[in-house]
C-alpha cells in the first residue's frame, strides 16, 4: 500500500504530456490568430457597437447571464479596437510561448471576451477552445517549441512537485473535458430516431448551409454509406473515452478523429470547429508516444529516400552513403 | 514532524483537494449537460449558477434530431433615395444564399461568421415559433406558422437578422436611406431519405415573413467580396 502511494506520488510529481501541450498551445494560438487576422476588416460589424449586436444589447445579455467581457467596459470604437488589437498581440505572445504562464492567462481572458462579445458567431469549436484554454492556464504548455524554452526560462520548472501535480490535473481535466464532450454527444445521438435508423447524415448533408461539396452526393445517395457513416459517428464518439487509454489503439483513434473532423470541415464548412477538435486530440499522446511517432515518421522518410536512390540505379552501398545518416535522424 | 514529512503531508493534502475539486466540477458540469432528469430538475438553479457562463457547454450536435430542412433569410426594405428623395421599396433580397455560396467556394472565407450568425439566429427564431401563439394558428388539429409573424418574436435573434440584412442591403443598394425593413424566411423541405431517388420528389418550398420593422444605421459589412455576393443576392431573389 505504502509502496503504491509512493509510486503514485512520484508519477503525479513528474510533469506529463509536455510536448502535446506545447503543440496544442501553438495550434490553438494559430487558430485564434488566424481568426483575428481574418476579421480585421470586418471587426466593426462583427464586434462593434453599430454592428451585428449593438453594445446596449450585449451589455444587457452580459448582465443577465452574470458574465464578464473586456468589451463590456466601454462602447467606444477606440476602446473596442484597443481590446481587439491587444488580444491580437496577446495571442501572438501565447503562440510563440513568451512568458507562457502569464500569457496563457491573458490568452484565456481575451479569447473569452471576444467570443462573449458576439455569441451568434459561435460554432461549438469556440466553446471547446475556451474550456481547454481555461485548463491550459494550469499547465506547463510552453516547455517545447517556445521562446521561454529558447531563452532558458523553463530550466527550473520541473523541480516544484506541487506545481507539477497541478499541471497533471490540468492535463487530466482536458482529457476529461474531451471525454465528456464525445460521450454526451453520442448519448444525445443514440436517443434520436434518425441516428438510430442510420439516416441522420443524409439529412445533415442535404441542408442548404451544409450542402457545400459536389462530392457529398456520393455519400448521401448510397443507403449503405449513409448508414455506415451515421452509425460509425456514434460508435466513434461513444468509444473515444475508453479507447484513448490503450496505447496500441491511440493512433487509430487519432486517425478516426482526423477522418471525422476533416469531413466535417470540408463537407459542412465548419473548419474552425474541426481545427479546434483536432488540436484537442493531441492531448491523448504522451511525450514518449510523440517521440516514437516522430521516430517512425523519420524512419519512413529515410526508407522512402533510400528506395528512391536505389531506384535511380545506385547500389545499396552508394544509396546508403548518399541518404542522410539514419542515426542522425534517430535523435528525437 | 520532520520538514520532509510535513512537505509530503501537504503534497497529499493538496493532491486530494485538487482531485476532489476536479471530480466535483465535472460531476456538476455533466449533470447539467445530460438530458433533463429528475435529479437535474431538483438542482437546476444551483447547477445553472455554477456552470453558466464560464463552464457552459452544449455538445448535443445535430442530436437527438438533426435539422432536416433548409432555412434561408430574405429581406426587402423601404427607402428614400439620397439624391432624388424619391421613396421606394427594394425587391426581395437573398441574404443567406450569397453567404453560403461564398463558403462553398472558399471554406476559409471571412463571410463564414456572417453566415453562421444568420444561421444561428434563424434557427433560434424558428425554434421559438411553436411556443408563441401569435406566430402560429391551428387548423384541422394541425399547427401552422402564420404568413406574417410579429417582429417581437425572439427579439435578440430578430435583431441579429435585421442588422445583418441591413448591412448587406447597404452594400447591395448604395445611395439609399433605409427606413423600414421586412424579413422573410424561405423553408425548403427536401425529399425524405426513402424518396431520394424518386424522380417526382422535389424540394417543397414555403415562406413566411416578419412584420415591417424600423431600421437603424449599421456598419456595412466590409470588403469587395461581399459586394460581389450582395449583387448576386439581388439577382438570386
Closest CA to A211 of A259, A256, A266, A170: A266
Nearest Cβ partner of A41 from B30, B112, B223? B223
Dump pLDDT digits (tens) for A25-65: 999 999 999 999 999 988 999 999 999 999 999 999 999 99
* Local confidence band at B219 (pLDDT 50, 70, 90 cut-offs): confident
pLDDT at residue A321 greater than cutoff 80: no
Q: How far A120 CA sits from the closest chain B CA (Å)?
A: 5
Residue to test with chain B: of A9, A31, A42, most B Cβ within 10 A:
A42
pTM of structure = 0.91
Q: What's the CA dihedral at B174, B178, B182, B188 to 10 degrees? A: 10
What's the average model confidence in pLDDT over B211-228?
Answer: 77
Return the pLDDT at B227: 59
Dump pLDDT digits (tens) for B141-152: 888 888 899 999
Q: How far B182 CA sits from the closest chain A CA (Å)?
A: 17
**How many C-beta atoms lie closer than 10 Å to residue B138's C-beta?**
9
Mean pLDDT of chain A: 91
Return the pLDDT at A313: 73
C-alpha B210/C-alpha B134 separation (Å) is 12
Nearest Cβ partner of A203 from B33, B68, B121? B68
Q: Do A181 and B69 touch (CB under 8 A)?
A: no
pLDDT at residue A329 greater than cutoff 50: no
Q: What's the CA dihedral at A18, A22, A24, A30 to 10 degrees? A: 180
pLDDT at residue A318 greater than cutoff 90: no
Q: Do A191 and B112 touch (CB under 8 A)?
A: no
Residues of chain A with C-beta less than 8 angstroms from the C-beta of B33: 180, 184
Dump pLDDT digits (tens) for A125-137: 999 999 999 999 9
Closest CA to B77 of B178, B171, B207, B185: B178
Return the pLDDT at A280: 96
Query: What residue segments make up the domains of chain B, in order of their start?
Result: 3-51, 60-232
C-alpha A94/C-alpha A103 separation (Å) is 5
What's the average model confidence in pLDDT over B170-177?
Answer: 88
Q: How far B191 CA sits from the closest chain A CA (Å)?
A: 9
Return the pLDDT at A284: 96
Beta bridge partners, B144, equal B137
Return the pLDDT at B44: 93
Return the pLDDT at A215: 86
Residue to test with chain B: of A5, A51, A120, most B Cβ within 10 A:
A120
Annotate A303-330 with b (16+ C-beta within 10 A) or e (fewer). eeebeebbeeebeeeebeeebeeeeebe
C-alpha B114/C-alpha B95 separation (Å) is 10
Q: Is A99 exposed, middle or buried (0-12, 13-18, 19+ CB in 10 A)?
A: middle
Supply the DSSP symbol for A157: G
Helices and strands (H, E) in chain B, number of each type: 7, 9
* Local confidence band at B34 (pLDDT 50, 70, 90 cut-offs): very high
* Local confidence band at A327 (pLDDT 50, 70, 90 cut-offs): very low
Return the pLDDT at A323: 57
Q: Do A192 and B66 touch (CB under 8 A)?
A: yes
CB pairs A-B closer than 8 Å = 201
pLDDT at residue A306 greater than cutoff 50: yes
Helix or strand (DSSP H, E) at B183: strand B176-189
Beta bridge partners, B79, equal B88, B178
Nearest Cβ partner of A45 from B10, B55, B219? B219
Return the pLDDT at A85: 97
pLDDT at residue A322 greater than cutoff 80: no
Q: What 3-state class would DSSP assign to B214? A: strand
Least confident interval from A145-149, B26-30, B90-94, B168-172: B168-172
pLDDT at residue B230 greater than cutoff 60: no
Helix or strand (DSSP H, E) at A273: helix A271-281
Residues of chain B with C-beta less than 8 angstroms from the C-beta of A195: 63-64, 66
DSSP codes joined into one string, B3-65: HHHHHHHHHHHHHHHHHHHHHHHHHHHHHHHSSP-HHHHHTHHHHHHHHTTTT-----TT-SS
ipTM of the complex: 0.90
% residues pLDDT > 70 (chain B): 93
pLDDT at residue A279 greater than cutoff 50: yes
Least confident interval from A155-159, A262-266, A325-329: A325-329
* Local confidence band at B7 (pLDDT 50, 70, 90 cut-offs): confident
Return the pLDDT at A159: 80
Residues of chain A with C-beta less than 8 angstroms from the C-beta of B160: 52-53, 120
Return the pLDDT at A316: 66
Dump pLDDT digits (tens) for A181-206: 999 999 999 999 999 999 999 999 99
**How many C-beta atoms lie closer than 10 Å to residue B28's C-beta?**
16
| Half-sphere exposure of residue A253: CA atoms within 13 angstroms, side-chain side | 23
Residues of chain B with C-beta less than 8 angstroms from the C-beta of A226: 193
C-alpha A285/C-alpha A177 separation (Å) is 16
- Cell 417582429 belongs to B151
**How many C-beta atoms lie closer than 10 Å to residue B78's C-beta?**
16
What's the average model confidence in pLDDT over B119-140?
Answer: 88
Residue of B nearest to A109 (CA): B54
Residue of B nearest to A173 (CA): B22
Return the pLDDT at B236: 47
* Local confidence band at B226 (pLDDT 50, 70, 90 cut-offs): low
Residues of chain B with C-beta less than 8 angstroms from the C-beta of A65: 52-53
Annotate B197-231 with b (16+ C-beta within 10 A) or e (fewer). eeeeeeeeeeebbbebbebeebbbbbeebbbebbe
Return the pLDDT at A320: 65
Least confident interval from A147-156, A250-259, B95-104: A147-156
% residues pLDDT > 70 (chain A): 95
* Local confidence band at A332 (pLDDT 50, 70, 90 cut-offs): very low
Q: Do B52 and A195 touch (CB under 8 A)?
A: no
Closest CA to B64 of A230, A38, A2, A169: A230
Closest CA to B172 of B96, B100, B231, B91: B231
Least confident interval from A147-156, A189-198, B58-67: A147-156
pLDDT at residue A307 greater than cutoff 50: yes
What's the average model confidence in pLDDT over A288-305?
Answer: 91
Return the pLDDT at A194: 95
C-alpha B96/C-alpha B32 separation (Å) is 34
C-beta of residue B182 within 8 angstroms of C-beta of residue B212: yes
Q: How far A50 CA sits from the closest chain B CA (Å)?
A: 5
* Local confidence band at B192 (pLDDT 50, 70, 90 cut-offs): very high
| CA end-to-end span of chain B | 82
Q: What 3-state class would DSSP assign to A98? A: coil
Amino acid at each position: 500500500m505504502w509502496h503504491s502511494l509512493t509510486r503514485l506520488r512520484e508519477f503525479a510529481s513528474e510533469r506529463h504530456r509536455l510536448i502535446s501541450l506545447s503543440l496544442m498551445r501553438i495550434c490553438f494560438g494559430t487558430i485564434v490568430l488566424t481568426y483575428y487576422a481574418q476579421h480585421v476588416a470586418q471587426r466593426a460589424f462583427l464586434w462593434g457597437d453599430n454592428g451585428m449586436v449593438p453594445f446596449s444589447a450585449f451589455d444587457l445579455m452580459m448582465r443577465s447571464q452574470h458574465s464578464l467581457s473586456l468589451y463590456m467596459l466601454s462602447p467606444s470604437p477606440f476602446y473596442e479596437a484597443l481590446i481587439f488589437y491587444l488580444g491580437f498581440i496577446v495571442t501572438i505572445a501565447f503562440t510563440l510561448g513568451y512568458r507562457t504562464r502569464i500569457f496563457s492567462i491573458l490568452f484565456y481572458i481575451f479569447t473569452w471576451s471576444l467570443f462573449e462579445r458576439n455569441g451568434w458567431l459561435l460554432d461549438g469549436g469556440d466553446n471547446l477552445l475556451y474550456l481547454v484554454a481555461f485548463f491550459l492556464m494550469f499547465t506547463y504548455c510552453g516547455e517545447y517549441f517556445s521562446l521561454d524554452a529558447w531563452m532558458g526560462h523553463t530550466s527550473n520548472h520541473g523541480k516544484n512537485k506541487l506545481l507539477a501535480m497541478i499541471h497533471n490535473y490540468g492535463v487530466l481535466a482536458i482529457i476529461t473535458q474531451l471525454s465528456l464532450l464525445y460521450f454526451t454527444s453520442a448519448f444525445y445521438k443514440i436517443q434520436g430516431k434518425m441516428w438510430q435508423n442510420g439516416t441522420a447524415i443524409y439529412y445533415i448533408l442535404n441542408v442548404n448551409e451544409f450542402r457545400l461539396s459536389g462530392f457529398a452526393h456520393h455519400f448521401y445517395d448510397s443507403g449503405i454509406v449513409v448508414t455506415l457513416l451515421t452509425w460509425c459517428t456514434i460508435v466513434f464518439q461513444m468509444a473515444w473515452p475508453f479507447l484513448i487509454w490503450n496505447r496500441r489503439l491511440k493512433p487509430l483513434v487519432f486517425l478516426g478523429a482526423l477522418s471525422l473532423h476533416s469531413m466535417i470541415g470540408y463537407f459542412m464548412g465548419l473548419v474552425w470547429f474541426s481545427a479546434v477538435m483536432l488540436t484537442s486530440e493531441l492531448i491523448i499522446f504522451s511525450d514518449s508516444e510523440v517521440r516514437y511517432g516522430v521516430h517512425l515518421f523519420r524512419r519512413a522518410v529515410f526508407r522512402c529516400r533510400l528506395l528512391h536512390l536505389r531506384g535511380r540505379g545506385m547500389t545499396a552501398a552508394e544509396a546508403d552513403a548518399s541518404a542522410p545518416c539514419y542515426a542522425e535522424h534517430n535523435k528525437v | 514532524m520532520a520538514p520532509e514529512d510535513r512537505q509530503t503531508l501537504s503534497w497529499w493534502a493538496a493532491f486530494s483537494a485538487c482531485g476532489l475539486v476536479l471530480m466535483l466540477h465535472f460531476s456538476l458540469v455533466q449533470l447539467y449537460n445530460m438530458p433533463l432528469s429528475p435529479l437535474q430538475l431538483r438542482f437546476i438553479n444551483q447547477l445553472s449558477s455554477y456552470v453558466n457562463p464560464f463552464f457552459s457547454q452544449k455538445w448535443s450536435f445535430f442530436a437527438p434530431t438533426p435539422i432536416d430542412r433548409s432555412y434561408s433569410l430574405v429581406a426587402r426594405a423601404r427607402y428614400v433615395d439620397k439624391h432624388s428623395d424619391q421613396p421606394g421599396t427594394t425587391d426581395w433580397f437573398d441574404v443567406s444564399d450569397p453567404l453560403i455560396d461564398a463558403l462553398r467556394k472558399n471554406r476559409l472565407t471571412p463571410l463564414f461568421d456572417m453566415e453562421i450568425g444568420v444561421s444561428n439566429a434563424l434557427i433560434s427564431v424558428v425554434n421559438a415559433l411553436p411556443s408563441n401563439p401569435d406566430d402560429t394558428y391551428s387548423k384541422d388539429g394541425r399547427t401552422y406558422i402564420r404568413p406574417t409573424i410579429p417582429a417581437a418574436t425572439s427579439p435578440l435573434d430578430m435583431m441579429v437578422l435585421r442588422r445583418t440584412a441591413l448591412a448587406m442591403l447597404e452594400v447591395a443598394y448604395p445611395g439609399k436611406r433605409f427606413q423600414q425593413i421586412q424579413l422573410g424566411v424561405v423553408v425548403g423541405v427536401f425529399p425524405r431519405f426513402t424518396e431520394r431517388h424518386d424522380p417526382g420528389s422535389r424540394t417543397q418550398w414555403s415562406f413566411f415573413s416578419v412584420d415591417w420593422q424600423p431600421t437603424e444605421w449599421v456598419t456595412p459589412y466590409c470588403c469587395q467580396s461581399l459586394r460581389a455576393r450582395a449583387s448576386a443576392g439581388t439577382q438570386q431573389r
